[in-house]
Structure 1
Amino acid sequence: MTFCVALLGGSFDPVHHGHVALAALFDSLLHPNQLRVIPAGNPWQKNGLKTSAADRVAMVELAFREAGLEIVIDRQEIERTTATYTIDTLRHVRAELGPDASIVFLMGADQLQQLDTWRDWRALFDYAHIGVGARPGYALDQAALPPAVAQEFMVRQGSLEQLRTTPSGRVFLAETLAVDVSATQVRAALQRGEQANSLISPVVLDYIQQHNLYKI
């Protein structure tokens, strides 16, 4: 039986309902042997993280425990001193797990629409499958995607069974994720002093307040 790991990367600055919903969706669809969360260290497309790696890891652990999802925290990007690129992370995970394991990298539709800006994005498929969760306002049809991404996805669409039992190279689009929230939106709400219970877990909100995070 193929060992299957689902990977969820992100800044998690802070972790919010959208992150947890995406992981929970593919956990229920794929039933992976392991759900691995990879907090970013120095993501090249983000303008500076607002909180420390320790705080972001703590918030991730709280949010997923609250949701009843068992996860493994992968600290490789945090420990990397250079810029964070997904292709390097996937190479590292593939080297760790070997050639036969199924690796499924999870992303939201907003990331899919920018995939052609990622370093060596076509090479991602050499190391992993990609599982995409729809977000309200972000279309997943061919017309909404960059042409090169649309073409790649058209020839790589696979079934959940293919993702679960083969190492890499396929795409699955899940259009049942109806959570629309971003970390930018959460930080803005917190800075305005607004209640963010609809955006993040209460245990994460408690942590943010206790540690005085995301103040202007």
Structure 2
Amino acid sequence: MSLSPATQNAQAGVQRLGVFGGAFDPPHLAHVALVEAAMAQLQLDLVRVLPTGQAWHKPRKLSDAVHRLAMTRLAFAHVPQAVVDEREILRAGPSYTVDTLHELQHEHPHAQLYLLIGDDQRRSLPSWHQIGEIGRIAIICAAGRDMAVHAWSDTSGAPDSPFSMSDTLPARIRSLDMPLMPHSATDIRVLAATEQTLTGWVPPAVERYIHEHHLYRPH
């Protein structure tokens, strides 16, 4: 990914780096709200927003990466500290968060990484690839007030963890103080399939893009 000299200079001084990945199929207002809440509460210098490449954990085929990348750029265009990063789309093979964190750790060796996740992702954390290593590299910050730390008390969910999840991982998890928003990409795709309005669900520019490119309509 090519970055402008100004962006490169700004990133050189990053001390607190947010990392926010997802399918973004499509990106919606809750995604934007999560990033804005994280920037304010964690005092982040920069947030890397990463559309998923080959999503090994998704039961359905994602929309074309070109569209998901374009919509993500539109959704976060007004957030100057958010940089849409296409590395996971360009990466061959399955897209794992731990690989992205290792790369960012190498690029920003003096920065603290904060992995930003939604409530749905929080619930599936025990099944993540190398979740123990993820917890070692980054502080995990989840949307919603109910962190339910006991949900990670079963170490059998992460056989490849280099440490006991029950002892260590909960200490690396923080809650972002924001209301849970009922936005769902699945619901948005259903609305778009019948050409209903997406106002209040996605940013206006994303809604225009979905309608102009006839996304999510039955073939």
Question: Normalising by the residue count of structure 2, what TM-score does the alignment of the two structures yield?
Answer: 0.82
Question: Normalising by the residue count of structure 1, what TM-score does the alignment of the two structures yield?
Answer: 0.83
Matched, 1:129 2:139: yes
The residue type paired with residue 148 of structure 2 is D
SS of the counterpart of 1:178? coil
Task: Say what the alpha-carbon RMSD is for the aligned residues.
Answer: 2.4
Q: Post-superposition shift, 1:117? A: 0.7
How many matched pairs? 199
SS of the counterpart of 1:65? coil
Q: Match for residue 178 of structure 2?
A: 176
Kept in 1: contact 2:45–2:81 (CA 8 A)? no
Aligned-pair identity (%): 29
1:155 and 1:80, CA in 2 relative to 1: closer, same or farther beyond 3 A?
Answer: closer
Stretch moving more, 171-180 or 70-79: 171-180
Q: Which runs of 4+ in 1 moved over 3 A?
A: 151-158
Kept in 1: contact 2:192–2:198 (CA 8 A)? yes
Q: Match for residue 9 of structure 2?
A: none
Equivalent-residue separation in structure 2 for 1:25 and 1:35 (angstroms):
12
SS of the counterpart of 1:5? strand
Q: Which has the higher contact order (CA 8 A, sep 6+)?
A: 1
Equivalent-residue separation in structure 2 for 1:126 and 1:53 (angstroms):
30
Q: Match for residue 121 of structure 2?
A: 111
1:154 and 1:141, CA in 2 relative to 1: closer, same or farther beyond 3 A?
Answer: farther
Q: Structure 2: which 5+ residue stretches go unaligned? A: 1-12, 156-163
Stretch moving more, 9-18 or 71-80: 71-80
Q: Match for residue 49 of structure 2?
A: 37
Q: Match for residue 67 of structure 2?
A: 55
Matched, 1:19 2:19: no
Matched, 1:187 2:189: yes
Equivalent-residue separation in structure 1 for 2:61 and 2:199 (angstroms):
22
1:212 and 1:7, CA in 2 relative to 1: closer, same or farther beyond 3 A?
Answer: same
Equivalent-residue separation in structure 2 for 1:133 and 1:175 (angstroms):
7
Matched, 1:141 2:159: no
1:96 and 1:199, CA in 2 relative to 1: closer, same or farther beyond 3 A?
Answer: same
